[in-house]
Amino acid sequence: MSPPFSASVHVREPDLGHTTTTKPTDDTRSTVIAAFRTVRAETEHRCASLCEEDQTVQSMPDASPAKWHRAHTTWFFEQFLLVPRLVDYRVFDERYAYLFNSYYVTAGARYARPQRGLLTRPNCAAINEYRRHVDAGVEQLIAHAADADLEEILHVLEIGLHHEQQHQELMLADILHAFAQNPLLPAYALDWQSANPQLGGDEFAELPPGIHSIGFADAGFCFDNEQPAHRVFLEPARIGRALVRNAQWLEFMAENGYTTPSLWLSDGWAVVEAGGWQAPGYWRKRDGCWFSMTLGGLQPIDPDAPVTHVSYYEADAFARWAGKHLPSEAEWEIAARTNLLDDAFGAVWQWTRSAYLPYPGYRPAPGALGEYNGKFMINQMVLRGSSHATPRGHARVSYRNFFYPSARWQFSGLRLIDYLN
């Protein structure tokens, strides 16, 4: 099995920041085509070591097969860019919209998510062909679109590229979950490097209290949920420079963290009991020692590495046990903007105690793409930063990731905050 992307994930950085312009040039078009090819190639690179069976399996309703990710990201370009914009475009297969539409009600009926693993057909060869067909269409559109149309085309294209990058990380989280169900515990990449151990110490840094602005207010791309930028008020507090490490989590476990109901939210305790949780996701005890299933296979727990694959419920219980709190997303963002955080990006996503809600004045984009973020703003919690599986160039200080509080198959960890009041 060849290493799928240990080099490329940290090297390939598509230039997605300047794809829109009021006066398009040939340079603009070639830059955009290069960015498009880079992102599409990264998806294929991440799947290069996965056989057809690997790409077809769906290990739980929340996860999707790698083959489905590859097809769905392709459908996104076909549905939202080629069908409406490329004259004489021939849809690759009229049936695919039903199979590969995820949740866009506006775009029509769709196949049930929990059954995506039943799609042995179309096979990988057909999806390869689908990707090539759509790639050619997108490149034709970019190369030949009228100047007057290019700005809107590039806007949708840019969303499609960032969308595909999101799925690149999801693919790895999903295949890890699938491999973790396999008694053979296969490695996705034998040389996979999990989240790097932190270099910083355990100290807490004082947050600048008072009024600050959060949200995206720069030039370039952001998702609609990062806007409008707005003011927030921070109470005096000190935030952990470092991520919570496995050594600390082992202390929490040793002090009966998973069996002490008073540490847990009611919903969280119900999940702990129902799931029999005794440790983070993918942890297994062998001969008295803890191991974790990773993309590199089963590996001993590194006490210095950030804890990963914990749910919001676990992060919240840990914070309570530690006598501290999870930061709000505003506190996290201001801390990151003022360089107070070690490992803000590139190790693990960090749970915040903020519910995933619209920012003041938020409005979803018009049309089907307005379904991208806004309709999920209920019952989920925000994570900030990025993980070691996040494609390079995809993270931002204002980026808002979100998952249900019981989810722990993502590369999710935490840091703490302490208040001075």
The nearer residue to Fe ion, 100 or 332, going by C-beta atoms, is 100
Report in angstroms how near the CB of residue 169 gets to Fe ion at its nearest. Answer: 12
Binding site for Fe ion (CB under 5 A): 102
Measured distance CA(283)–CA(264) in Å, rounded: 20
> What's the distance, CA 21 to chain centroid?
28
Report in angstroms how near the CB of residue 106 gets to Fe ion at its nearest. Answer: 14
Report in angstroms how near the CB of residue 372 gets to Fe ion at its nearest. Answer: 8
Report in angstroms how near the CB of residue 374 gets to Fe ion at its nearest. Answer: 15
Report in angstroms how near the CB of residue 159 gets to Fe ion at its nearest. Answer: 11
The nearer residue to Fe ion, 161 or 293, going by C-beta atoms, is 161
The nearer residue to Fe ion, 354 or 373, going by C-beta atoms, is 373
CB 259 within 8 A of CB 409: no
Determine the residue with CB nearest Fe ion. 102
**Alpha-carbon separation of residue 17 from 155, 244, 284, 414 (angstroms):** 11, 32, 42, 29
The nearer residue to Fe ion, 127 or 416, going by C-beta atoms, is 127
Q: Residues of 108-145 as b/e, b for ≥16 C-beta within 10 angstroms?
A: eeebeeeebbebeebebeebeebbebbbebbeebbeeb
- β-strands 289-294, 297-300: how paired? antiparallel
Report in angstroms how near the CB of residue 233 gets to Fe ion at its nearest. Answer: 35
Residue 297: φ, ψ to 5°: 95, -170
Those residues whose C-beta lies under 8 Å from the C-beta of residue 145, and which sit 6 or more positions away, are 85, 153
The nearer residue to Fe ion, 102 or 168, going by C-beta atoms, is 102
The nearer residue to Fe ion, 103 or 419, going by C-beta atoms, is 103
Measured distance CA(358)–CA(392) in Å, rounded: 26
The nearer residue to Fe ion, 113 or 230, going by C-beta atoms, is 113
Report in angstroms how near the CB of residue 104 gets to Fe ion at its nearest. Answer: 9
The nearer residue to Fe ion, 350 or 373, going by C-beta atoms, is 373
In the sheet that holds 381-384, the strands lie side by side as 401-403, 381-384, 349-355, 412-413
Measured distance CA(67)–CA(122) in Å, rounded: 9
Report in angstroms how near the CB of residue 167 gets to Fe ion at its nearest. Answer: 6
- In the chain, the amino acid numbered 32 is V
The nearer residue to Fe ion, 169 or 316, going by C-beta atoms, is 169
Measured distance CA(159)–CA(16) in Å, rounded: 10
Report in angstroms how near the CB of residue 101 gets to Fe ion at its nearest. Answer: 9
Helix locations, 259-311, DSSP H: 266-275
- β-strands 230-234, 210-214: how paired? antiparallel
